[in-house]
Chains A and B, each alone.
Chain A
Amino acid sequence: MSASPPPETPATPKPGLWQPELDELRLREAHARRMGGEAKVRRQHDAGRLTVRERIGKLADPGSFHEVGAIAGKAEYDAQGRLLELTPSNCVWGRATLDGRRVVLVGDDFTVRGGSADATIREKPLMAERMAHEFRMPIVRVIEGSGGGGSVKTIETTGRANLPGGVGGTGLFHYTTLNLSAVPVVGLGLGSVAGLGAARLASTHYSVMTKSSAMFVAGPPVVSRLGAPVTKEELGGWETQCKAGAVDHAVDTEEEAFECARRFLSYLPSSVHEVSPVLPCEDDPGRRDEALMNAIPRERRRVYQMRPIIERVVDKGSFFEMGKMFGRSLITGLARLDGRAVAVMASDPFFYGGSWTADTCQKVVRFIDLAETFHLPVVYLMDCPGFMVGLEAERSATIRHGVRAMAAMNQATIPWCTIVIRNAFGVAGAAHQPAGRLSLRYAWLSARWGSLPLEGGIEAAYRAELDAAEDPAAKLAEIEDRLNLLRSPFRTAETFWVEEIIDPRETRPLLCDFARMADPLRQPTPSRLQMRP
């Protein structure tokens, strides 16, 4: 069904041979457009939310939505078999263009039974996923309610209980998994999202929710039966879910969520069988930013803001951060260098000095997998004093998550460039480029490194010498001075243990050069990696 012409207007001025059938088609389409009825639509609007059709209208390029299966639903007939009423299924899907690029859009209609299973036709969302996969198009899921998932009501309407994933019931999960390794998948959570809806939102490359929305495995009515009552916001509000890393980003309005989806997709190819388009670049690739010379404090204990540094080196205005509230000692996002899309990782010393926590490591795995899947070169602006240490860190299995992050890095085949901004210490210090192939690496003048930091490291390595000293504190200071003289990065460069130390103002020209060098290496060949959410 196309967005126009409206059903009241005959498609042809003169009645044709098949006019009665055409009239019936238009009538049924008109029923579908009414969704769950006037009262339910009003309730949706009163709650400050758009209907699924309004959402698709705003997300897609104007007039570009071509719907599939609009008239599928539940019909009522009179005694003569004439159509009285048609309640559409609560899944609206089709193809459209987004900024000129063809995508699949699939949305839940909350006005029809809250989007839940008893008003769903299972094959509709399934076909949407299949079309994205088989025609190699990005898919955007506009999710509200239980996303076509279970409702206890179906026990009564079908007269039996559903075995989740029973006969014929696993097709959707087959495709939601497959699509992560095939096409960009975006999820927008707009309203209360639970159960299968939550799974469809989380099983994406990028997810956004509005701040008035909530996402949970099960909502407050179920949860409060099991324990203390909890509000929707506490349980699944944006702060909970973005901090937990289950959703990547939160925005105030639905329109902003649509903008996020468009922006995210702009950096990616339409599928793994293509590479991202190179856009014209209006920012001088040779630009040297003077502020970079003073960006890092000389006092080693002082922190600094990393985000302005990212903004200064990538194409102006091109940085698009993802997952800002999760694993915050590392900033991740997409950007452009001389018009080429790249995946940027950058340490944030405001969080544990940039140390990798277990959360940060999980963020690294998912982000590198995204870059690998869509053939995006990686730029890493590194300031990492190591994996996080301490009891809390051990209890969260930091080292297991850490070696997983290193494995993701080492399995990746995408071009890689690291700028050592300041610290590179310990095992996490080694986790700054793939181990088995040549990558580009530059160290800023402020860079420093070691197997472990001197602080604490001296006490461990020089125990006997310190114990024997009359004044252990003075001895400690003496050893520290001695080692400090030796650990200048220039001594490391002298032995070619690091290949280049640079003036930080050269960073952008060098990164743009890297992006151009990466051109012949970006192949539209699907990665061996099978991505997981």
Chain B
Amino acid sequence: MAEITVVAELTSAVWKIEAGPGARVSEGDAIIILESMKMEIPVLSPADGTITAILVAEGDQIAEGQAVARIET
């Protein structure tokens, strides 16, 4: 069991939370959808696991490298 912190790869706005705490995700699943340059850019799960925390809310402005979620694998 390890906890992974998922970070946003780009400065953007949080458009939609796709999966909340407790949700099971597979590697490559979209956890959060960001918006940048009018495009919807998913934050993909880096591994199979369970989401333990979502660290941002819809509408938040976030910076590149900011932690957005935690996953337990």
Complex partner residue of B37 from A302, A328, A388, A392, CB under 8 angstroms: A388
CA–CA, A328 and B42, complex, Å: 15
CB distance from A399 to the nearest CB of B (A): 16
Chain A residues within 8 Å of B39, by CB: 301-303, 349, 352-353, 385
Chain B residues within 8 Å of A302, by CB: 39-40
B41 contacts partner chain A, Cβ-Cβ < 8 Å: yes
Q: Report the nearest B residue to A455, measured CB to CB.
A: B38
Chain A residues within 8 Å of B3, by CB: none
Per-position binary interface string of chain B over residues 30-73, scored 1 when its CB falls under 8 Å from any chain A CB and 0 otherwise: 00000011111110000000000000000000000000000000
Complex partner residue of A351 from B10, B38, B42, CB under 8 angstroms: B10
B11 contacts partner chain A, Cβ-Cβ < 8 Å: yes
Chain B residues within 8 Å of A385, by CB: 37-39
CB distance from B6 to the nearest CB of A (A): 14
Chain A residues within 8 Å of B42, by CB: 303
Chain A residues within 8 Å of B11, by CB: 392
CA–CA, A133 and B7, complex, Å: 45
Per-position binary interface string of chain A over residues 360-396, scored 1 when its CB falls under 8 Å from any chain B CB and 0 otherwise: 0000000000000000000000000110110010000
CA–CA, A433 and B38, complex, Å: 25
CA–CA, A505 and B42, complex, Å: 27
- The count of chain A contact residues (Cβ–Cβ below 8 Å) is 18
The answer on a CB contact under 8 Å between B37 and A303 is: no
Of the listed residues B37, B41, B42, the one surrounded by the most CB atoms of chain A closer than 10 A to its CB is: B37
B18 contacts partner chain A, Cβ-Cβ < 8 Å: no
CA–CA, A353 and B40, complex, Å: 8
CA–CA, A353 and B38, complex, Å: 8
A350 contacts partner chain B, Cβ-Cβ < 8 Å: yes
Chain A residues within 8 Å of B9, by CB: 328, 350-351
Q: Report the nearest B residue to A454, measured CB to CB.
A: B38
Of the listed residues B10, B11, B39, B40, the one surrounded by the most CB atoms of chain A closer than 10 A to its CB is: B39
Taking CB atoms and an 8 Å cut-off, the chain A residues in 151-204 that contact chain B are: none
Q: Report the nearest A residue to B40, measured CB to CB.
A: A301
Known: A328-B9, A392-B11. A352 touches B38 (CB 8 A): no
CB distance from A509 to the nearest CB of B (A): 30
CA–CA, A349 and B12, complex, Å: 13
A453 contacts partner chain B, Cβ-Cβ < 8 Å: yes
CB distance from A354 to the nearest CB of B (A): 8
The answer on a CB contact under 8 Å between B40 and A389 is: no
The answer on a CB contact under 8 Å between B10 and A352 is: yes
CA–CA, A355 and B40, complex, Å: 13
CB distance from A363 to the nearest CB of B (A): 15
Known: A328-B9, A392-B11. A350 touches B41 (CB 8 A): yes
Chain A residues within 8 Å of B36, by CB: 352-353
CA–CA, A199 and B41, complex, Å: 37
CB distance from B68 to the nearest CB of A (A): 15
The answer on a CB contact under 8 Å between A303 and B40 is: yes
Chain B residues within 8 Å of A355, by CB: 37
Taking CB atoms and an 8 Å cut-off, the chain A residues in 302-331 that contact chain B are: 302-303, 328
Known: A328-B9, A351-B9, A352-B10. A301 touches B38 (CB 8 A): yes
Q: Report the nearest A residue to B36, measured CB to CB.
A: A352
Q: Report the nearest B residue to A388, measured CB to CB.
A: B37
CA–CA, A392 and B63, complex, Å: 11
Q: Report the nearest A residue to B42, measured CB to CB.
A: A303
The answer on a CB contact under 8 Å between A303 and B38 is: no
CA–CA, A355 and B38, complex, Å: 11
Q: Report the nearest A residue to B43, measured CB to CB.
A: A350
Chain B residues within 8 Å of A352, by CB: 10, 36-37, 39
Chain B residues within 8 Å of A354, by CB: 37
CB distance from B40 to the nearest CB of A (A): 5
Per-position binary interface string of chain A over residues 325-356, scored 1 when its CB falls under 8 Å from any chain B CB and 0 otherwise: 00010000000000000000000011111110
Chain B residues within 8 Å of A389, by CB: 37
CA–CA, A453 and B41, complex, Å: 18
CA–CA, A386 and B40, complex, Å: 16
CB distance from B42 to the nearest CB of A (A): 7
Chain B residues within 8 Å of A350, by CB: 9, 41
CA–CA, A118 and B9, complex, Å: 43
CA–CA, A302 and B15, complex, Å: 13
Chain B residues within 8 Å of A301, by CB: 38-40
CA–CA, A392 and B37, complex, Å: 13
Chain A residues within 8 Å of B41, by CB: 303, 349-351, 353
CB distance from A396 to the nearest CB of B (A): 11
Chain B residues within 8 Å of A351, by CB: 9-10, 41
Q: Give B contacts to A, CB under 8 Å.
A: 9-11, 36-42
Cβ contacts A to B, 20 pairs, < 8 Å: A301-B38, A301-B40, A302-B40, A303-B39, A328-B9, A349-B39, A349-B41, A350-B41, A351-B9, A351-B10, A351-B41, A353-B36, A353-B37, A353-B39, A353-B41, A355-B37, A385-B39, A388-B37, A389-B37, A455-B38
